[in-house]
C-alpha cells in the first residue's frame, strides 16, 4: 500500500509545479499551478479506503488528506483576499468538527485569538466562530479575552520578545476602574440591552502584534457570548531548550 501511495504522490522536483511570490508581509506563498496533486489525492483516498482495515487509522489517514486539500483550497485563492481568509477559517471549523467526532466527546475547548472565534461576520469575511456557530448552533460558546496593561510574548520578526502594553482606556476600563478585583468575566446575554456596552477598543493580538494598527473597535454582544478581562497581564517565563535558566 505504501508503495502505491508513494507512487501517486511522487513529483519531479525539477518540474514547475509551484512558484512562489512575496506577499505584503514579505513572506513566501506557495501557489499551486498543477492539478495533478488533487487527482493524486483522490487516488490515495481510494487506496486508504480499500487497504486500511483499522477504522481509527483509516479515519486519521483520511484526515491528513483533508488537511492537504484544505491547504490547496486556500493557496488557490489570491493571497490576502476575503476568499483566502474564509478558506482558512472554514477549514479550522471543519477540523474542530472532525476532532469532536473522532474523540466521541461532546465537549471540547478550542483556544484561538479573538478574531478567529467571532461568531458574527464582517461583510463577506467569516470567522471560525461564525462557521462553528452554523455547525453547532447555540452549543458553540465563544469567550473573548483581553487585558488592560502589562506584558505578553510578541512574535516579532526578531523572534519571541516580551512586549509592554500601557493602559488601554475604554468603556470597559472605565466601569471597573477603582474595583479591587483584577479579573472579571462578563456574561454577554443577548437578552440584555445591546447598548449596555458599546463598541470598545481591544488589543488584536494575533500571530504578530503591531502597536500602531492592532487596536480595534469591537462590538462584544455581536461577537462573543462571554468576555474575560484582566486588568494586568504578566508575561510567562519563556523556557528555552538546553538553557541553564
Give the distance from CA 178 to its chain's centroid: 35
pLDDT for the residue 117:
93
Asked if the model's pLDDT at residue 53 lies above 80, the reply is no
Average pLDDT in the 146-153 region? Answer: 88
Q: Identify whether the C-beta of residue 207 lies closer than 8 Å to the C-beta of residue 177.
A: no
What percentage of the chain reaches a pLDDT higher than 90?
Answer: 18
Q: How many Å apart are CA 218 and CA 210, to the nearest integer?
A: 17
User: Rounded to the nearest 5°, which phi and psi values hold at 38?
Assistant: -60, -45
Tell me: the pLDDT tens digits for 192-227? 555 566 678 888 887 777 777 788 888 888 899 999
Higher pLDDT, 38 or 111: 111
CA angle 238, 240, 245 (to 5 degrees): 85
Instruction: Tell me what the mean pLDDT of segment 53-75 comes to.
Output: 79
Residue 155 pLDDT > 80: no
Render pLDDT for 77-93 as a digit per residue (tens, 0 to 9).
777 788 888 999 999 99
State how far the Cα of 210 lies from the Cα of 157, in Å rounded to an integer.
11
In this predicted structure, which of 108-112, 118-122, 197-201 has the lowest mean pLDDT? 197-201
Task: Tell me if the pTM is above 0.85.
Answer: no
Rg (CA), the chain: 22
pLDDT of 7 over the 70 cut: no
Amino acid at each position: 500500500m505504501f508503495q502505491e501511495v508513494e507512487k501517486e504522490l511522487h513529483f519531479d522536483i525539477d518540474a514547475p509545479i509551484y512558484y512562489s511570490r512575496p506577499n505584503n508581509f514579505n513572506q513566501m506563498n506557495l501557489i499551486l499551478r498543477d492539478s495533478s496533486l488533487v487527482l493524486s489525492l483522490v487516488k490515495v483516498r481510494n487506496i486508504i479506503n480499500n487497504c486500511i482495515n483499522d477504522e481509527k487509522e483509516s479515519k486519521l489517514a483520511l484526515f491528513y488528506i483533508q488537511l492537504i486539500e484544505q491547504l490547496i483550497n486556500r493557496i488557490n485563492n489570491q493571497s490576502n483576499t476575503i476568499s483566502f481568509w474564509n478558506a482558512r477559517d472554514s477549514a479550522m471549523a471543519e477540523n474542530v468538527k472532525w476532532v469532536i467526532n473522532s474523540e466521541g466527546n461532546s465537549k471540547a475547548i478550542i483556544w484561538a485569538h479573538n478574531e478567529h472565534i467571532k461568531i458574527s461576520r464582517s461583510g463577506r469575511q467569516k470567522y471560525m466562530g461564525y462557521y462553528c456557530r452554523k455547525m453547532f448552533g447555540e452549543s458553540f460558546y465563544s469567550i473573548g479575552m483581553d487585558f488592560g496593561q502589562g506584558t505578553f510574548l510578541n512574535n516579532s520578526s526578531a523572534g519571541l520578545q516580551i512586549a509592554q502594553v500601557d493602559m488601554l482606556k475604554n468603556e470597559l476600563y472605565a466601569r471597573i476602574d477603582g474595583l479591587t478585583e483584577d479579573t472579571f468575566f462578563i456574561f454577554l446575554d443577548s437578552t440584555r440591552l445591546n447598548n449596555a456596552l458599546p463598541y470598545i477598543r481591544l488589543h488584536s493580538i494575533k500571530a504578530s502584534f503591531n502597536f500602531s494598527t492592532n487596536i480595534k473597535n469591537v462590538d462584544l454582544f455581536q461577537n462573543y457570548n462571554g468576555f474575560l478581562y484582566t486588568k494586568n497581564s504578566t508575561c510567562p517565563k519563556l523556557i528555552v531548550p538546553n538553557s541553564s535558566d
